[in-house]
Amino acid sequence: MVLACYGGSTMSAIMVGEPVAFVCNEALVSCCLATWTAMYLMPGAALGFVKDSSIGAVATMIGYEIQRCHVLMNCTKQAAAVLPAKLAQPAAGRVAVVGPLIGGLLGGCGGGFMPLNKGLDPLANGTNWRILSAAINSLWMFLSTQYAPTKEMIGLSLESARFCAVCFFVSVPVACSALGLDNPLGANPLAAPKASADKKKK
């Protein structure tokens, strides 16, 4: 359960040779267990409201996407800070490219590939919203906050670039859910259109 919750940041930290988040901040494990316990013991009516009502579904979706974006931004930032000195040919002012892009992608997948015995099963039906949106936002954070030429061209402060990233993660699934549309970037389990769900029942 811990690896499923913190899998993205764990893989990203291992990739750049840094300790993973839940061994540095031990409160993360207890928070994870406390959240699971609270949801498990939640009365059926309250749990049904969270899972089945429109308000509960939207609130869950928004909270999840904000947290996912937070992890993505931290992972790409960590890779950008750590890797320049570890490059095969380091140079003053050189920016790591591959590491921050992959780190952001891993951080934004929401631990979808954890535990590792799942292999590539999450890709069995093609890429999904979480993977493609993470790739897009990872590229956005690199161009708008890390790579000097494009950072200057875009001209946004760090806070504004981060705000745009959060807005993208939140607005697309919320809009698709509200309009009953298929997500153009792939399936999203938190925002499955009602029409699709009805077809499956039939």
Average pLDDT over residues 11-34: 88
Average pLDDT over residues 183-192: 76
Task: Work out the number of other CB atoms within 10 angstroms of the CB of residue 30.
Answer: 10
pLDDT of 191 above 80: no
Kindly report, residue by residue over 64-88, the tens digit of the pLDDT: 899 999 999 999 999 999 999 888 8
pLDDT of amino acid 163: 97
Q: Which residue has the higher pLDDT, 198 or 101?
A: 101
Kindly report, residue by residue over 125-160, the tens digit of the pLDDT: 667 888 899 999 999 999 999 999 999 999 999 999
pLDDT of amino acid 196: 42
CA–CA separation, 92 vs 2, rounded Å?
Answer: 38
Identify the domain containing residue 60 by its residue range: 2-201
Averaged pLDDT score across all residues of the chain: 84
Average pLDDT over residues 100-109: 91
Weakest mean pLDDT among 60-64, 67-71, 178-182, 195-199: 195-199
pLDDT of 52 above 60: yes
pLDDT of amino acid 118: 59
* Local confidence band at 114 (pLDDT 50, 70, 90 cut-offs): low
CA–CA separation, 49 vs 22, rounded Å?
Answer: 31
> How many domains would you assign to the chain?
1
pLDDT of amino acid 49: 80
pLDDT of amino acid 109: 84
pLDDT of 198 above 50: no
pLDDT of 199 above 50: no
Q: 149's torsion region: left (phi>0), alpha (psi -120 to 50) or beta?
A: alpha
